[in-house]
Structure formats: structure tokens, C-alpha cells
Amino acid sequence: MRQSLVMLAAALLVAPAALAQRPVVPPIRGHAFPTTDPAIRRIYAIGMDSSQTYHLAQVLTDSIGPRLVGSPAYRSAADWLIATYRAWGVPTREERYGTWLGWRRGRSHIDLVAPRIRSLEGTQLAFSPGTGGRIVRGDLVLLPDLPDSAAFRAWLPQVRGRHVAVSFPEPTCRPDSAWQAFALLGTWDRLRTNREAARRAWTQRVARTGANARTLPGMLENAGAAGVVTSQWTGGYGVTRIFNAYTQRVPTVELSCEDYGLVARLAEHGQHPQIEVSAEAEFMGQQPAFNVLAEVRGTELPDEYVMLSSHLDSWDGGSGAGDDATGTVIMMEAMRILKQVYPNPRRTILAAHWDSEEQGLNGSSAFVADHPEVDAGLQALFHQDNGTGRIVSITAQGLMDASGNLARWLSRVPADLTQGLVLGLPGVGMDGYGDNSAFTCAGLPGFGLTSAPWDYWTYTWHTARDTFDKIVLDDIQIDATLTAVLVYLASEDRERVSRERRTVFPPGRDGGPGSWPACRQPQRSGPLAPQ
């Protein structure tokens, strides 16, 4: 595998031949250069005329695929990343910070077998046990509406040999936008009112069991359930969130909104649905948990750093394309450009590809804790992690005087790369969303590059639809070129970015007084394998 990845990385170096086989995203014409700096002009030319974003994104999402922490796919992605950087002449290493439970996804299939036959759209959740080579057939029942936890405990023996559906069955899987556009006003109002009441009632139904979403599956499997069935609708056609299982011995599967609604209605109306579940999964014990770091040492100020930041891991429902293969590709492509244009930077340039972001920013938080020398010397970090869109905003993250550096850098960026970009001043420190939060909580200059949404929250964030075809190549090509220019300017800047923090804050999420966010401690070991 390592040898094939090195060969693949080397193939990416043959830019003229490779690019001739694929349509190159054309540069935006009519660009305006606010500077005569030849380095910026060359960064722009390479980024816009000979981009490798297509090839990098296609390999990472189609060939390697999703990159769950601790999985063989994460290892494959890291090996490919290291081989690609080294083929570009960029020294690269993996840096271990802990361990995580290894889990390998195999094939899964879910079928409705009574009262009619239908193959259901769904998959097992991450870290779900498999079915041990068997096809597990059983009735499907809905979590019942019981008065209290005592009644629930009395009911539990009835789940033996059955699959239990534990999520709210949506009355419709048609997006609200369609109802608003086409339904009679009274129809839409009734749907919305009745659905809100039904959702509240389902939440109360779960609460009366004495359990919650994390503990309920374990109670069901301990009572002998054949499996747990879930569905977490995003509000878009056919799309659900795909996270991790909370069972230890029986499979947990996620069904599409439409098919979950089907089996739930059959159960609700006494039509006795039966399903068959076949799932392959392998637990692999504790595996190394590590970040991938590519570094070009500075010539004048090697102990000061400009960082490119993205996370390499993903959930594994889709291909991890917009979360965060696009960020990974943006930072790789920016580093490729800089290696050609700016091989001897003034400050050290460090590209960091984080592990276990999805479990709570573990890789980046561990790096901040383990590298006080980088923290002390950090000039700026540029992080991207919210999909495929054009970068439309950057904030100073609550650093009062960083706005001067940001404004000065952006004023020298070609106008084609900053159309519609808004600079937020002074902003607030990020609180737990995105790996730059691991830096800003400590008052370090970690700037998030926020992209246009492209239906990110509805259709791609942590869903099975987060795949290569959703990537907008024009946008990430521009983003990579913009990032390369910003890194160059931050490295060359004669002025250090100030770390003076704001002291007056907008209200917090709960409406109470705002404050600077607290840093979280990284989790350095994942869960134990099921017994």
C-alpha cells in the first residue's frame, strides 16, 4: 500500500501530462493586482493556471474515501498525504498524540421482508458491531409511549429478538422549502404545528424511559434486542446524519428519512414489519492516533510559524468530501504552490492535518498542549473546515490589533480572490467549532476561513451525500490560491500579530454574559473495544 501511494503521489508531479487529460478550471479573467510583488503574481499564475485540486480531491475522496479516526482508511490517507508532500520536496511527518479504537467498516445491507419486500436505504453506524456473518431477521417495533421508567423496564423483555426503532418518525421527508413554496397556507401551518407537537411528544417519550440517546441503545441490547434502528433527518431530501453507534454487541443502523418513516408507519399501524440486517465490521484494538505535519523551515525567523490547518479525519457515511477533504486539498495545494514560489520562507511554514476533529478537536488540542514553542512563535494560522464554497469571511477572532495585519494582507491579494469577502473586526474567539478553536481559546492567532455554505448543513455535513461530486472545483482552486497568498504575506510581514484580546463580549449562546472561550483537554485514547 505504501509503495502504491508513493507511485500515485509521484504521478501527481507530472502536471502537464496529467492536466492534459482533465479539464483545467480556467482562471478568472480581468483580475486586478493591487501589488507589483512578483511572488504574489507567480502564486496567482500557478494556482489559477495549473491547479492540482481536481486530482488531489479525487484521490482523497474516491479512492481513499472516508477517514474515520483509528481506521485503516485514515492510515491510508496519511500515507498518501506524506508521500505526496515528499514527492513535492516538502519534509513531512506523522506525530502521535495518543491511541484510538480501530474499526473497519464492511458491507451492510438492510431489507424489509414483511409485509412486502424492499431493500432499504441505510447503513450501519461507525463503531457498530456487525452481525457475525449472519443475517439477523426480526420484527421491528417502535419505542413505545409509556408513562414512566418503571413501565419501560417492565416492557423491556418484549424486545428480545426484535429490532427497535428509537428515532422520531418524520411525518414528511419533503423539505420545508417545498411546503412553503407550493402548499396551501393552511396546509403548511397545520403540518408545522402538528410536527412540532409530535417532536416534543417523542422527546418526552424517550425521557420517560429514564434513558437518553446515548444510554437507551445499551439498555435495549442488554434486554436482548436484535438491533437498534435510527434516523436523524437533516431537513433535505433523502439525507440523514451518520455518526456512531452506542451498542456493544448488536448492530445499530441508520435508515433514510423516507425508509425509516415507512417501517415506523407499518409498526404504528399493526402491520408487523420484519427486517433483515447483515453487517460486517471488525474491531482492531487500539491504533495510533496522530496528526500529519508538513514543514518548510524559515530562513530568517525559523522559530516563528505560519500554519495551514485542516482536519484529515471524517465520519464515514459518505466520502468526507466537504468535511474536510476540501480543507485538506486547499492546504495541500497552497503548500505545493508555496514550495515552488517561496521555497525559502522568512518564517517557518507548517501545514497541519489534524486527527480526531470529529470527536472533539483532539488532534489539534493535543498539538497546542504539546508544542509550547509553536504557540509562542505563532504568527498566524489559517484554517478551513466548512465545505466547498468560496471563502467569504475572515474574522480577527477577538484579537484587537490583528485586524491591522489581516487588512494589510488582504489589501495586497488579487481582487479576483476576494470578491465578496468580508473581514469581521474584532470578532470573537472561536468556541469549540473548528480546529482553530484549539488555538484561539489560548489567545493565539488562529483565523478561520469561512466558506459560502452551498447547502452544507442540510445536505453534506456528516451525511452519506458528502461525496466528490459536491465539490465546487472553481471555488477550492480560488481558496487554495488565496490561502497561499495569505501565508506568504504573513510570513513576510515585518510586524508580529498582536495577541491583545478583547475584554467586552457579546452575549453568550445562552443569553448570559459572553466571555473568552475556555480550552478543552484533548482525549488521547478512544473507547475500549466491545467485550
Final residue before a domain boundary, out of 221, 243, 272: 272
117: Cα separation from own chain's centroid: 35
pLDDT band at 530 (very low <50, low <70, confident <90, very high): low
Q: Are residues 193 and 120 in the same domain?
A: yes
Final residue before a domain boundary, out of 272, 296, 315: 272
List C-alpha distances in Å: 263 to 118, 141, 266. 11, 9, 5
Q: Are residues 122 and 77 in the same domain?
A: no
List C-alpha distances in Å: 527 to 217, 286, 287. 16, 9, 11
Residue at 57 is within a domain: yes
CATH number at residue 178: 3.50.30
Contact criterion met (CB below 8 Å) for 479 and 384? yes
Please give the tally of structural domains in the chain. Answer: 2
Residue at 108 is within a domain: no
**Is this prediction's pTM over 0.85?**
yes
Residue at 518 is within a domain: no
Rg, C-alpha atoms of the chain: 25
List of residues 6+ apart from 363 with CB closer than 8 A? 97, 289, 290, 291, 311, 313, 354, 355, 356, 357, 435, 522
- Give the three-state DSSP class for 183: coil
- Give the three-state DSSP class for 170: coil
Predicted local distance difference test score (pLDDT) of residue 432: 73
Residue at 459 is within a domain: yes
Tell which residue, 165, 154, 163, 152, has the closest CA to residue 209.
Answer: 152
Q: Which three cell numbers stand for residue 109?
A: 445491507
State how far the Cα of 290 lies from the Cα of 467, in Å rounded to an integer: 24
Q: Are residues 83 and 132 in the same domain?
A: no
Q: Which three cell numbers stand for residue 210?
A: 429514564
Residue at 383 is within a domain: yes
Q: Which three cell numbers stand for residue 443?
A: 489567545
State how far the Cα of 314 lies from the Cα of 119, in Å rounded to an integer: 27
Q: Are residues 262 and 310 in the same domain?
A: no
Determine the average pLDDT of the residues in 84-104.
Answer: 97
Residue at 422 is within a domain: yes
Predicted local distance difference test score (pLDDT) of residue 511: 83
Q: Are residues 304 and 433 in the same domain?
A: yes
State how far the Cα of 375 lies from the Cα of 400, in Å rounded to an integer: 18
State how far the Cα of 197 lies from the Cα of 179, in Å rounded to an integer: 18
Which amino acid does the sequence have at 511?
A: G
Q: Are residues 267 and 330 in the same domain?
A: no
Give pLDDT tens digits for 490-516.
999 999 999 999 998 888 878 888 899
Residue at 266 is within a domain: yes
Q: Are residues 474 and 348 in the same domain?
A: yes
What does DSSP say about strands 422-424 and 391-395: parallel, antiparallel, or unpaired?
parallel
Q: Which three cell numbers stand for residue 472?
A: 465546487
Q: Are residues 216 and 348 in the same domain?
A: no
CATH number at residue 449: 3.40.630.10
Q: Are residues 220 and 337 in the same domain?
A: no
Q: Which residue has the cell 411546503?
A: 179
Contact criterion met (CB below 8 Å) for 462 and 241? yes
| Residue 33 pLDDT > 90 | no
Q: Are residues 212 and 236 in the same domain?
A: yes
State how far the Cα of 77 lies from the Cα of 86, in Å rounded to an integer: 14
| Residue 10 pLDDT > 70 | no
Cis peptide before 324 (omega within 30 of 0): yes
Q: Are residues 145 and 244 in the same domain?
A: yes
109: Cα separation from own chain's centroid: 25
DSSP label at residue 466: -
Give pLDDT tens digits for 147-179.
999 999 999 999 999 999 999 999 999 999 999
Predicted local distance difference test score (pLDDT) of residue 13: 40
Final residue before a domain boundary, out of 272, 300, 325: 272
| Residue 12 pLDDT > 50 | no
| Residue 14 pLDDT > 70 | no
Q: Which three cell numbers stand for residue 217?
A: 441503545
pLDDT band at 35 (very low <50, low <70, confident <90, very high): confident
Domain housing 250: 116-272
Give pLDDT tens digits for 379-430.
999 999 999 999 999 999 999 999 999 999 999 999 999 999 999 999 988 8
Q: Are residues 251 and 312 in the same domain?
A: no
Could you give the angle at the alpha carbon of 354 between the alpha carbons of 352 and 358, nearest 5°? 155
Give pLDDT tens digits for 248-295.
999 999 999 999 999 999 999 999 999 999 999 999 999 999 999 999
Contact criterion met (CB below 8 Å) for 65 and 319? yes
Helices (H), 253-371: 257-268, 326-341, 362-370
Residue at 522 is within a domain: no
Backbone angles phi, psi at 166, to 5 degrees: -115, 0
Contact criterion met (CB below 8 Å) for 438 and 360? no
